[in-house]
């Protein structure tokens, strides 16, 4: 990387990433692959998914260089995602590189959990701190319908494997589709409570590859809360530690466990959003629903990284961030990319 920039550029390199609405950006989601071993209905097409050729993916060095440039600008929270991030070979090498970058104090991964059993030891050794595992059902037949593949057993084994590492923060994420797994809300909560794992419900967003989203298929966080409260008693709000945290958390009435809600559709958290995203091929996005992307790959792939140009491009991306995702606005169009191509 280049060093020794003139003082003005050093200043521009160090100022925080603040958008036009005063939001300070601290969180970066990095997609390391668009490939996945399953085909969740709410994310990927059943057939014919087109994936990036390997040579278009950013290398681990390029991802790490990007983070090294952004960390002094205040990015301190990284989440590795995809596609299925554990399909990227030797992912622990990237984790190791990122975990040693000064300023990074939170390093997490979001995974479907199916490869965790074989990889968790390497990931922990490399410095991974937190794992979010997607779990939408406890029924194999529903898993097969929802993910269009078998695999629940592997997900559950992956969750069990995390128990060997009690210092890791593990959380379960569930997405409910009204026609498919609505009756799993209570069993999922019971499972999470029995496992002493926090569970979060995420509302279905219009980011599915088949463009089949409709509001009636989405189950709102409010509905889920009502169902849980009628089974387990009133949910008690847990004070937020971090205002940029999208999840609103509650404790169960008996004090056994936490349940969180990311109500991105019905109660958007855009006013406190501090996230930026980098796709697997190096496009930067300022919003899941944004229509614009900024090409970081062009700069990251140069032999000598022009740090100042990279920062300018990052700042341009941040500056163009809109006040809100606008899902409820007339004429709203979902982005060209589906969730697996952005990185959830």
Q: What residues line the site for ligand SAM (CB under 6 A)?
A: 36, 42-43, 81-82, 84, 110-112, 134, 173, 175, 202, 204-205, 207-208, 339-340, 344
Longest dimension (CA), the chain: 63
SS3 category, 170: strand
Measured over the CA atoms of residue 125, residue 127, residue 132 and residue 134, the dihedral's sign is: negative
CA nearest to 314, candidates 273, 270, 283, 272: 283
Applying CB under 6 A, among 32, 66, 82, 274 the residue interacting with ligand SF4 is 82
CA nearest to 133, candidates 164, 174, 189: 174
Count of residues touching ligand SF4 (by CB under 6 A): 12
> Considering only residues 312-341, where is the footprint of ligand SF4 by CB under 6 A?
339-340
DSSP 194-225: HHT--EEEE---S--TT----TTTB--HHHHH
149 binds ligand SF4 (CB under 6 A): no
83 binds ligand SF4 (CB under 6 A): yes
Partner whose footprint covers residue 44, from ligand SF4, ligand SAM, none (CB < 5 to 8 Å by kind): ligand SF4
Partner whose footprint covers residue 204, from ligand SF4, ligand SAM, none (CB < 5 to 8 Å by kind): ligand SAM
144 binds ligand SF4 (CB under 6 A): no
What minimum distance in Å lies between the beta carbon of 336 and ligand SAM?
Answer: 14
Partner whose footprint covers residue 341, from ligand SAM, ligand SF4, none (CB < 5 to 8 Å by kind): none
39 binds ligand SF4 (CB under 6 A): yes
SS3 content of the chain, % helix, strand, coil (to 5): 35, 15, 50
CA nearest to 204, candidates 194, 189, 216, 192: 216
80 binds ligand SF4 (CB under 6 A): no
What is the DSSP pairing of strand 199-202 with strand 169-175? parallel
Partner whose footprint covers residue 202, from ligand SAM, ligand SF4, none (CB < 5 to 8 Å by kind): ligand SAM
Q: How far is CA 237 from CA 69, 106, 195, in A?
A: 38, 24, 21
Minimum CB distance to ligand SAM smaller for 282 or for 335: 335
What minimum distance in Å lies between the beta carbon of 342 and ligand SF4?
Answer: 10
269 binds ligand SF4 (CB under 6 A): no
Q: Which position's Cβ is nearest ligand SAM?
A: 344
Among the residue ranges 61-69, 78-86, 199-207, 249-257, the one whose residues contact ligand SF4 (CB under 6 A): 78-86
268 binds ligand SF4 (CB under 6 A): no
Minimum CB distance to ligand SAM smaller for 38 or for 126: 38
CA nearest to 143, candidates 161, 155, 132: 155
DSSP state of 272: G
What minimum distance in Å lies between the beta carbon of 2 and ligand SAM?
Answer: 33
SS3 category, 165: coil
SS3 category, 95: helix
Residues within the interface to ligand SF4 (CB under 6 A): 36, 38-40, 43-44, 82-84, 112, 339-340
């Amino acid at each position: 990387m280049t060093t020794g920039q003139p003082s003005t550029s050093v200043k521009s390199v160090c100022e925080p990433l603040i958008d036009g609405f005063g939001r300070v950006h601290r969180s970066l989601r990095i997609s390391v692959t668009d490939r996945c071993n399953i085909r969740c209905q709410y994310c990927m097409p059943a057939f014919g998914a087109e994936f990036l050729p390997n040579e278009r993916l950013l290398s681990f060095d390029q991802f790490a260089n990007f983070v090294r440039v952004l960390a002094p600008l205040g990015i301190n929270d990284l989440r590795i995602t995809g596609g299925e991030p554990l399909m990227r070979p030797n992912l622990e090498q990237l984790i190791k590189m990122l975990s040693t970058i000064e300023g990074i104090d939170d390093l997490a991964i979001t995974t479907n959990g199916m490869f965790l059993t074989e990889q968790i030891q390497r990931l922990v050794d490399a410095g991974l701190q937190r794992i979010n595992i997607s779990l939408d059902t406890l029924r194999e037949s529903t898993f097969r319908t929802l993910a269009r593949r078998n695999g629940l057993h592997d997900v559950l084994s992956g969750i069990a494997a995390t128990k060997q590492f009690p210092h890791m923060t593990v959380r379960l994420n569930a997405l409910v589709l009204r026609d498919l797994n609505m009756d799993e809300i209570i069993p999922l909560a019971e499972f999470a409570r029995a496992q002493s794992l926090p569970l979060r419900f995420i509302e279905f967003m219009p980011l599915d590859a088949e463009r089949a989203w409709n509001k009636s298929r989405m189950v709102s966080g409010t509905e889920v809360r009502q169902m849980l409260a009628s089974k387990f008693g009133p949910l008690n709000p847990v004070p937020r530690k971090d205002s940029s945290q999208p999840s609103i958390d509650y404790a169960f009435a008996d004090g056994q466990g936490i349940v969180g809600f990311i109500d991105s559709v019905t109660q958007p958290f855009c006013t406190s959003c501090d996230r930026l995203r980098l796709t697997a091929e190096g496009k930067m996005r300022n919003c899941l629903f944004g229509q614009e992307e900024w090409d970081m790959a062009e700069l990251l792939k140069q032999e000598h990284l022009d740090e100042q140009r990279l920062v300018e491009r990052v700042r341009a991306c941040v500056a163009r961030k809109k006040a809100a995702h606008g899902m409820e606005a007339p004429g709203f169009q979902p982005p060209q990319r589906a969730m697996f191509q952005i990185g959830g």
